[in-house]
């Protein structure tokens, strides 16, 4: 891997090569070394900067995006932020369709990048009004009016996403651990991170266990374990989980999968920031809960790697709102009540 330059001359050069951080509490509770890639240090604040860059570089290589053109994507937020920032740095306009249920923090973060944000109803993928379908139709209409003017990034089914994680994120984890890794686990939305990292690690050591930590309400754990897409419950986590098998997820080398309830994942978000000073969002709580499960599956002494996908402050109105948490029947730590008295 080419290291991050001492002085980046373009935004793209500042993406990736993130630190691998030992999670003290999770490690102590399992007798394993649980490590996490801190992806919030990317310029756009999340691991989706990698996805955005991989998709964009592939489009440029293939001539799918002309100079001054428009990037169009349907996203729960983070991929859109990455695309908008990279677009601004490379002279592209960005239009994003986004479910209106996403956090205000992410919606605002998109708007301040200069992206045009179109909020749409949150509906299942089978519904033609799903945000991804609306983005595709928008790009098609723009190209019909002005051929070659728009590019639909298609993060879910464009396998440049998975390929970029295989070439970068997975290789970084292997090099940072010196190949001493027993398992990797994370949640998935598009499937790019889990499939790409899994492929990279399995190519170097087929014995490394690859696991899916799936939020409640997603059908992917059921699919891995039974072959049936069946979802139960729900989750306050954003940007992860799915009701379908995307092109990026299809064929991912997954050995184990669990459905993770919010009652298991959200306390990890609170513990990370309050007891370790680690600012990590809701999907990161799912990932750490999955890492603990994988560590217990493999036994003491193993090394598990996961991902801290973004920062908790991107979901502050939910994760650190005592009234919201109580309404969802989630535990509210005493320190949070003191911090935000009602």
- For residue 76, the Cα-to-chain-centroid distance in whole angstroms is 10
Out of 37, 48, 106, 318, which one is annotated catalytic? 48
48 carries an active-site annotation: yes
Identify which of 255, 287, 282 has the alpha carbon closest to the alpha carbon of residue 270: 282
CB-based contacts of 275, cutoff 8 Å, min separation 6: 25
Residues tagged active-site:
48
């Amino acid at each position: 891997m080419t290291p991050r330059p001492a002085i980046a001359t373009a935004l793209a050069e500042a993406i990736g090569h993130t630190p691998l951080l030992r999670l003290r509490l999770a490690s102590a509770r399992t007798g394993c070394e649980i490590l996490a890639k801190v992806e919030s240090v990317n310029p756009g604040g999340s691991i989706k900067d990698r996805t955005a860059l991989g998709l964009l570089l592939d489009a440029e290589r293939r001539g799918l995006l002309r100079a001054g053109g428009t990037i169009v994507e349907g996203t729960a937020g983070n991929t859109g932020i990455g695309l908008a920032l990279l677009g601004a740095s490379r002279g592209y306009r960005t239009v994003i369709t986004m479910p209106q249920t996403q956090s205000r923090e992410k919606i605002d973060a998109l708007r301040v990048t200069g992206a045009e944000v179109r909020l749409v109803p949150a509906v299942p993928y089978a519904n033609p009004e799903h945000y991804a379908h609306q983005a595709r139709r928008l790009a098609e209409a723009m190209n019909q009016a002005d051929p070659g003017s728009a590019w639909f990034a298609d993060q879910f089914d464009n396998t440049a996403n998975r390929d970029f994680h295989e070439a970068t994120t997975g290789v970084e984890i292997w090099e940072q651990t010196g190949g001493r890794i027993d398992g990797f686990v994370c949640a998935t939305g598009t499937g790019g991170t889990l499939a790409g990292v899994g492929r990279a690690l399995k190519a170097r050591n087929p014995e490394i266990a690859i696991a899916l930590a799936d939020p409640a309400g997603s059908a992917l754990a059921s699919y891995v374990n039974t072959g049936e897409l069946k979802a139960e419950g729900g989750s306050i986590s954003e940007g992860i989980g799915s009701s379908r098998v995307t092109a990026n997820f299809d064929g991912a080398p997954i050995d184990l999968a669990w459905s993770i309830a919010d009652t298991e994942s959200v306390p990890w978000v609170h513990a990370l920031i309050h007891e370790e000073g680690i600012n990590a969002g809701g999907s990161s709580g799912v990932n750490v809960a999955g890492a603990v499960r994988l560590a217990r599956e493999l036994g003491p002494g193993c090394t598990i790697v996961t991902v801290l996908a973004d920062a908790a402050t991107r979901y502050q109105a939910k994760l650190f709102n005592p009234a919201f948490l109580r309404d969802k029947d989630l535990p509210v730590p005493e320190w949070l009540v003191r911090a935000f008295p009602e």
